[in-house]
Chain A
Amino acid sequence: MEKQKYERPLIKKLESGMPNKFGTRTGYQPTTHIENVPVKDLIKKYDSPLFVISEKQIRNNVRKAKQAFETRYPKVQFAWSYKTNYLDAVCRTFHQEGSWAEVVSGFEFSKALNNGVNGSKIIFNGPGKSDKDLKMAIENNALIHIDHLEEFYSIRQITEKLNKKAKVAIRVNMDTGIYPMWDRFGFNYENGQAWDVLNKIIRTDSMELVGLHTHIGTFMLAASAYSAAAYKLADLAVSIRKKYNHEIKYIDMGGGFSSKNTLKGAYLPGQDVNPSIDEFAEAITSALINSNFEKGHLPILILETGRALIDDTSYLLGTVLSNKRLSDGRRSTILDAGVNILFTSFWYDHKITPAQPFTQYTEDTVLYGPLCMNIDVVRNNVNLPLLNKGEHVVIHNVGAYNMTQWMQFITLRPRIVMIDEKEQVSLLRERETLSNFLEMESVPEHLKTFDL
């Protein structure tokens, strides 16, 4: 007689309440394959945990975003936000799709140059540019987005020394009805700070004012805030033209578009409710088109959206290390992937699916990572099918920030692979080893030996 498929015995108390508005049930299918490559094979070859990126999905996302904007506005340019994911292969995929580079440090700037991006197509943002960084940017004809007055003065000094003109824009912060208002970056629109620095730039011979930039927040759930911001920047651009007869080349609306992840505490899934790229495009482009630019004088529209283009392209594969009961009877499951490599689990309820078929029987589970730290919680309460030790799970929508903000903490960081459009798998980043770390460390002579 053929033996039946085994599943562990399960008993669940029936909580017969009224509809619990925050009830969660899993309605997922197993994720056995990513881009037709079996999850099992990926883990067998590259170990667990493992980040997997779909090149096809990246290209789809950029093309869709481009289409959303280009069908509504004549001149659109995307710039890849390096900090969101600066793996060279990822950046180059974006560059192949026509995206410029948007960087926020000298390190990222060098990475973009190393990737072969021409300096004139690198946007240099951020509050932390050193004089050395600024010199590199000016020498490479980069677009420098000034964040504060000190930076303005530094640039003036450097350009005079180098006898070279800098192309600059300013970052503007403003009230768009969104909380929190990001007034720590750039110059304020409402209180006149922005005008003050614009006047200074226009009067500085060694600077050319090429653009206006804003970035109103992160993981924005209302497209309407962008239209308020676009109106204000357009108004500023039109006023500069009136006052100085100077035409700026571009308006950079930054990024901050939400991805399809579900924020912790949100009731409905992000997949269902977060605005689509079309909604953001509609809000921004209609504000620009309806503003007071003269006919034929619309500036280039630059977008630096990162998260919305990369989040759903990447998966984190993990393996069940153990199941155990908590004191209150709840099930907990320990994975080999924790918050050290999945930073975003602090603010998202990541979608998690088993990588193998399962029955309809599920159990409320706390998902922990492997760290010996209380904060290492991947999901606080998720209704999952019954997972056995050694089985695999797929954590979805992990493309943004995890592969840049991950920590070498307690364990070493895992490999990253990419599945290309022909469904071939390439290694993008090797797993860290002990020797990587020993290379960077040194021990003073008197600490080299000890007796225990």
Chain B
Amino acid sequence: MKKAQLTIGVTGLNAVDNPGSGIPVIRALKEAKSFDVRIIGFSYGTLEPGIYMHSIIDKSYQLPYPSVGIDTLLKRIEYIHSIENLDVIIPNFDAELYSFIKISPKLKALGIHTFLPTIEQFEKRQKVNLNDFGKKYNIPVPMSKVIFTLSESHEAMRDFDWPVLIKGKYYDAGIAYNFDQIGLYFNKISAKWGLPIIIQEFVHGTEFNVAGLGDGKGNTIAAVPMRKQYITDKGKAWGGISITDEALLELTREFVAKTQWRGSFELELMKNKNREFSLLEINPRIPAWIYLAVGVGQNIPEALVNLALGKNIEPYKSYLAGKMFVRYSWDMIVDLKEFERISTLGEL
């Protein structure tokens, strides 16, 4: 039987030192066994490296920033769709997920499929709601408190031991060992990401990550755990290794079953001295290290596309442990003409 030919739009083409997952997602889709793809790259900036990677991206278009509003985003996608006839879109930026979830029914009406968490799932896993999330689903999470003013930190710190993590609503975090440092991070992070600020228990131990996919009915379609081996100064994995840990996988399956998680996700977990796991963060999207999962036998982007198209798919049962990913950077030579085209026409 001839393989289906799909046109898939992918965002997150920023394969930089704090990378988006677009490029590894595209590599995974190119290697899919169940379909062939044409890739349409969606970019926000004009220097996202993916725009210039013509060997894996057939055509790139600029999207309006999410802050402009969903009506404008939808109009732009309608325009692109009229030329490219998209089958599926995979958004990979945190900042754009809310907008894509909101417009997904309208995209579907246009014939464009997505496979994203529900708004409720998206909101519940927000950092400020993590405590309630843990309580509701009986999943261990580090204790956290939300503060709106620096003066509240004194009251809040009665329940914590030093050090603590100071986290922004969406991004950014720092470890504080005293009130001065809390003040430092509070001001720095709130200036950038607004209020509130989250004080979180600092869990000592080893960090693990799980990339996975839920079918929205409580089944775990794929799950690959990884331990970071090399971390950049931005806290991003630059090397990691696939591992086996039944407790970790069990916790992941429990997370998917209890939340009925729909779509891909990344769990960040900490294992303490007593070998207990706690869930630090839930990212409602494909992580940038997803190609490791593909390399060890679970093509999560491919499975996600098939779920988006409404196909029944068998869960992945196994993967190879002890495989590593080692990231590297690569300089492309780009003609100014190309930069000119994406800058002035918004297409390349």
Contacts and interface: CB of A to CB of B under 8 A. Distances in A.
Give yes or no for direct A-B contact (beta carbon below 8 Å): yes
13 contacts: A18-B47, A20-B65, A22-B67, A23-B67, A24-B68, A27-B68, A179-B148, A265-B194, A267-B67, A267-B194, A268-B67, A269-B67, A272-B99
Contacts of B102: 272
Nearest to B76: A27
A220 to B, nearest CB: 14
Contacts of A22: 67
Contacts of A179: 148, 196
A23 B43 CA distance: 13
A266 interface: yes
A14 B67 contact: no
A356 B36 CA distance: 47
Interface string A175-187: 0000110000000
Given A23-B67, A266-B194, A273-B98, A17 B343 contact: no
Given A19-B45, A24-B67, 12 more contacts: A16-B45, A16-B46, A16-B339, A19-B14, A22-B67, A25-B64, A25-B65, A27-B75, A267-B66, A267-B67, A267-B95, A269-B68
A44 interface: no
Given A17-B47, A18-B16, A271 B69 contact: yes
B44 interface: yes
Contacts of A16: 45-47, 339, 343
A66 B45 CA distance: 44
A28 to B, nearest CB: 8
Interface in B59-105: 64-72, 75, 93, 95, 98-99, 102
A14 B14 CA distance: 18
A225 B194 CA distance: 20
Contact of A21 (B46, B95, B148): B95
A20 B44 CA distance: 8
Main secondary structure of the interface of A (DSSP, over half): loop
Interface string A236-250: 000000000000000
A223 to B, nearest CB: 11
Interface string B11-46: 000101000000000000000000000000001111
Contacts of B48: 18-19
Contacts of A14: 46, 343
Interface string A30-74: 000000000000000000000000000000000000000000000
B44 A23 contact: yes
B93 A19 contact: yes
Nearest to A360: B346
Contacts of B67: 21-24, 267-269
B14 A18 contact: yes
A25 B68 contact: yes
A179 to B, nearest CB: 4
Most chain B CB inside 10 Å of its own CB: which residue of A20, A24, A179 = A179
Contact of A272 (B69, B95, B170): B69
A122 B72 CA distance: 43
Contacts of B47: 16-18
Contacts of B95: 19, 21, 267
A180 B65 CA distance: 31
Interface in B188-238: 194, 196
B253 to A, nearest CB: 29
Contacts of A18: 14, 16, 45, 47-48
Nearest to A273: B98
A81 to B, nearest CB: 26
B161 to A, nearest CB: 25
A26 B71 CA distance: 12
Given A19-B45, A268-B99, A26 B69 contact: no
Contacts of A271: 69
A180 B148 contact: yes
Nearest to B96: A19
A27 B44 contact: no
A94 B71 CA distance: 30
Contact of A268 (B14, B66, B93, B196): B66
A180 B194 CA distance: 15
Nearest to B103: A272
